[in-house]
Amino acid sequence: MDHGRFFGASRVVIVAGKGGVGKTTVSAVMARAAARTGLSSLIVEVEGKSGLASMFDVRPLAYDEMDLAEADGTTGAIRARTLTPDDALLEYLREHGLGRLSKRLVSSGALDMVATAIPGIRDILVLGKVKQLERAARTDHEPDLIVLDAPAAGHAITFLQSARALADAVKVGPINAQATDVLELLTDPSRCQVVLVTLPEETPVNELVDTAFSLEDRVGVSLGPVVVNGLYPTRPGIDADPRAAADEAGTSLRPGEAEQLTEAAEFRRHRTDLQAEQLERLAQRLPLPQLRLPYLFEADLGLAELDALADELLAGIDALPDLEPTAASKDR
């Protein structure tokens, strides 16, 4: 698939997955890959504890947008922001002429009470701001792509379901209007799609499959390719005998090293076999294309690692069939 077609399929891409599968890393990699194709991106983080800043070596994210990477003529700019329900509520009140009330809520400590008075209101405030950003992007043609680093999988379902629940529960007024607008965004594949992230392990794969069907059934979102993160790269020659390999290289092994290398190779083979089984099981249970990212043996990820992963993502996109976002249940 053409890179421009992939990243231009939907203005908003919501990246979701079980906690610990690397969805924040995937969000950063998607923005970095889009930038490599000349597109500008805005990463929106909603949980307030993202590692995005350290990956790009910048100060911690705030509510206001900040630069992560500037455009240089061949690559697009990357910006980011944190979007919390409290800040979204205060902005909503100010924009509707209630700035004085918002100050009193902050000073009195009643802000949390107001934000939790209606179930789902916190989520709809955040999604309403994302909708506003998407509308502005369509008008200003900037950014080309909004990447939403969504909450972990369990919360992601209720997070995205909040619009439909509020639209059904509140039939008139500004809350209904906001929920309806958000629902229109989420269910329009030309504006929004969800990319689910998993590790090639049994529990994350199970949760991803359940999340995929729940999101489609309860929310009606379009699902993009699944990103399988943390795959051990294959190593040619891993089955070679350590002593024979040492002789061929003109070196020698110390006592015990041959046994240790044999055990390490066996562990690696076992790990890759298990991953292959999970990739096949995922393909059978969820008929969505897969984009695969390798495991990087680094304690911390920086720009060099993001670029390496972006290369892998773009190569995976090249191999995708030229299809529209796919519904998880088409072949269910």
DSSP state of 237: T
Cβ–Cβ under 8 Å, residues 293 and 26: yes
pLDDT level of residue 229 (50, 70, 90 thresholds):
very high
pLDDT digits (tens, 9 = 90+) for 97-141: 656 655 666 566 555 655 565 556 778 888 989 999 999 998 888
Q: How would you class 16 by CB atoms within 10 Å of its CB: exposed for 0-12, middle for 13-18, buried for 19 or more? A: buried
Contact 222, 193 (CB under 8 A): yes
The overall average pLDDT reported for the chain is 86
Query: What single DSSP character describes residue 217?
Result: I
| φ and ψ of 148, to 5 deg | -100, 115
Give the DSSP letter string of 244-294: HHHHHTT----TTHHHHHHHHHHHHHHHHHHHHHHHHHHHHHS-S-EEEEE
Supply the pLDDT for residue 331: 47
Burial label for 162, CB within 10 Å (0-12, 13-18, 19+), is: buried
Percent of the chain exceeding pLDDT 70 equals 88
* Residue 13 vs residues 30, 244, 325: alpha-carbon distances, Å: 9, 50, 11
pLDDT band at 6 (very low <50, low <70, confident <90, very high): very high
Q: What is the pLDDT of residue 100?
A: 66
Q: What is the pLDDT of residues 156-204, one digit of tens each?
A: 788 888 888 877 777 777 778 888 999 999 999 999 999 999 999 999 9
Interval 28-48 mean pLDDT: 93
Q: For residue 283, count other CB atoms closer than 10 A to its CB.
A: 14
**What is the pLDDT at residue 137?**
92
Residue bearing the bigger pLDDT, 75 or 114: 75
The average pLDDT across 286-299 equals 93
Q: What is the pLDDT of residues 309-318, one digit of tens each?
A: 999 999 999 9
